[in-house]
Amino acid sequence: MAVDAAAPPATGDTAVLTDEALAFVGELHARFEPRRRELLAARAERRARLQSGERPDFLADTVSVREGDWTIPPVPNALADRRVEITGPTERKMLINALNSGARVFMADFEDANAPTWSNLVQGQANLIEAFAGTLSLETEAKTYALKDAVATVCVRPRGWHLPEAHVQIDGEPVAGALFDFGMFVWHNGQGLVDSGRGPFLYLPKLQSHLEARLWNDVLSFAEDRLDLPRGSIRATVLIEHILAAFEMHEILYELREHAAGLNAGRWDYIFSVIKSFPRDPQAVLPDRAQVTMTVPFMRAYTELLVSTCHRRGAHAIGGMAAFIPSRRDPEVNEQAIAKVREDKRREVADGCDGSWVAHPDLVPVVAEVFDEVLGERPNQLSVMRDDVSVSAGQLLDFAIPGSSVTGEGVANNVAVSLRYIAAWLGGLGAVAIFNLMEDAATAEISRSQIWQWIRHGRVPREQVRRVIADEAAKLEGTPHLAQAIELLERTALSDGQVEFLTLPAYELLEAVEA
């Protein structure tokens, strides 16, 4: 088996891309790549059935799992209190600031908040090695950045099963991004994290079925055995980011059992999954993105089901993202936005959530205060069982939002966010501040797929969107990678066919940019 890291040198590559680490990734590829491909083929078949009118339901052949009286093992002490989690890429400065932010957990992201340039991926892994050793620092002309004595617990999010890593070839074919990200992380840090009692901990993205969770469970078990780590030492929180996964929450936790830690309400990708799963259904046409809040009926059903499922199984329920970026220039904007954040988080903690996400360090104390009021000295709310919750398939699939609409302002915002984000992504940035919100690949997916959906269902004329793109492009004249961003937006939003993931054609462009 020939493992070739066919890429230009990157900062940190001597620490990360060792022969032994690459060989381990090769082992993961040889053992699990065939099943990954089978599951991706099963995804495509299921998607075709949905687009032909099939509607999902709770699985008939796993009733015993849903009705069974089982729980996951107790969550490790280092992950017991998750009342505020901050997310972001593994860029050096962001990593230091996030670890020092006062959040209980930092999700180190190789997925939606990361543009997968080779440099970002390799340097990110090198930064994590230094962070776990306590030696990560940064010197700039203006400031010295160093880790505090007490830092956030780290959960690493590898890429989803569908994304390739073209820079690492195994017998001439690209390795899965998920296996590269996980393999490098656990090879270099697994034993040290076990010894310190701080992991290894993961966030698993984009799962669509319990069979995909089963694959992850087998990967984690193999890694533990191969690296002489105790069984069950790797613990994973799964992002429920797809409507199909919402029907299989019990089954996903069951498949991961000894490796499970909780579920997270990945709200942005969940909305995106509705758009791409039911493209022909006029009842699934969603209004302006800003109107699809966590209080609309189908989102409310999904999050209440998540809390109920998690606590019945002894797993953490983590709430959705607060994406607002506080402005030091506009106190009025801050006051209004932070009031909305507080309202959102009060709803989550009242629902029984054990913690929630923020995208900016300045929101950590805001969300901490909300959870502190309810939790006090308790680490979580696992005792809040939510026996009152009973969610039907019909509730999960009822996409009606009374009083909502598609507006010109919504079209303009989606175009503006898409162009700015794609251009920044092609320049190597995965988490981008746009209009006081931290945007990532998931929000870009919503933005461009809503345009496609609105055109398909006659809510917005295609030519109107073209005019908006031209107007927005004029405002962005001189922005690096703008022409490529326009082309990609038009290809994924204006074409007749539905493009499943923006990040797949974007990755091809990114490779060309890097070359």
Candidates 81, 109, 288, 440; catalytic one: 440
pLDDT number for residue 97: 97
Mean pLDDT lowest for which of 21-25, 167-171, 203-207, 478-482? 167-171
- How would residue 3 be classed by pLDDT, with cut points 50, 70 and 90? low
Cα–Cα distance measured from residue 195 to residue 215, given in angstroms and rounded to the nearest whole number: 26
Candidates 157, 313, 420, 448; catalytic one: 157
Q: How does pLDDT run across 137-176, given as a tens digit for each residue?
A: 999 988 999 999 999 999 999 999 999 999 999 888 999 9
CATH 1.20.1220.12 domain extents, the chain: 408-514
Cα–Cα distance measured from residue 428 to residue 77, given in angstroms and rounded to the nearest whole number: 36
Q: What is the mean pLDDT of residues 186-210?
A: 98
Task: Give me the torsion for CA of 165, 88, 204, 498, rounded to 10°.
Answer: -60
Secondary structure element (H or E) that encloses residue 5, with its range: strand 3-5
DSSP string, 241-267: -SHHHHTTHHHHHHHHGGGEEEEEE-H
Q: What is the mean pLDDT of residues 463-471?
A: 98
Q: What is the mean pLDDT of residues 227-232?
A: 98
Residues with Cβ within 8 Å of 171's Cβ and at least 6 positions away in sequence, in order, are 1, 2
Q: What is the mean pLDDT of residues 275-291?
A: 96
- How would residue 512 be classed by pLDDT, with cut points 50, 70 and 90? confident
Q: What is the mean pLDDT of residues 312-320?
A: 97
- How would residue 8 be classed by pLDDT, with cut points 50, 70 and 90? low
Q: How does pLDDT run across 69-94, given as a tens digit for each residue?
A: 999 999 999 999 999 999 999 999 99
Looking at this protein, which amino acid is placed at residue 309? T
Write the CATH number of the domain with boundaries 3-323+353-361: 3.20.20.360
CATH 3.20.20.360 domain extents, the chain: 3-323+353-361
Task: Answer yes or no: 459 catalytic.
Answer: no
Q: What is the mean pLDDT of residues 38-47?
A: 98
Q: How does pLDDT run across 10-30, given as a tens digit for each residue?
A: 766 889 999 999 999 999 999
pLDDT at 7 over 70: no
Question: Which tokens sit at 138?
Answer: 């940064």
Q: How does pLDDT run across 99-146, given as a tens digit for each residue?
A: 999 999 999 999 999 999 999 999 999 999 999 999 999 999 889 999
Cα–Cα distance measured from residue 115 to residue 432, given in angstroms and rounded to the nearest whole number: 10
Q: What is the mean pLDDT of residues 173-202?
A: 97
Residues in a beta bridge with 107:
87, 155
pLDDT at 208 over 70: yes
Q: How does pLDDT run across 342-379, given as a tens digit for each residue?
A: 999 999 999 999 999 999 999 999 999 999 999 999 99
Cα–Cα distance measured from residue 339 to residue 226, given in angstroms and rounded to the nearest whole number: 49
As a whole number of Å, the end-to-end CA separation of the chain is 26
pLDDT at 272 over 90: yes
pLDDT number for residue 326: 87
Task: Answer yes or no: 448 catalytic.
Answer: no
Cα–Cα distance measured from residue 265 to residue 294, given in angstroms and rounded to the nearest whole number: 10
Cα–Cα distance measured from residue 107 to residue 455, given in angstroms and rounded to the nearest whole number: 36
pLDDT at 6 over 60: no
pLDDT at 212 over 70: yes
Write the CATH number of the domain with boundaries 408-514: 1.20.1220.12
Looking at this protein, which amino acid is placed at residue 52? S
Question: Which tokens sit at 229?
Answer: 């780590």
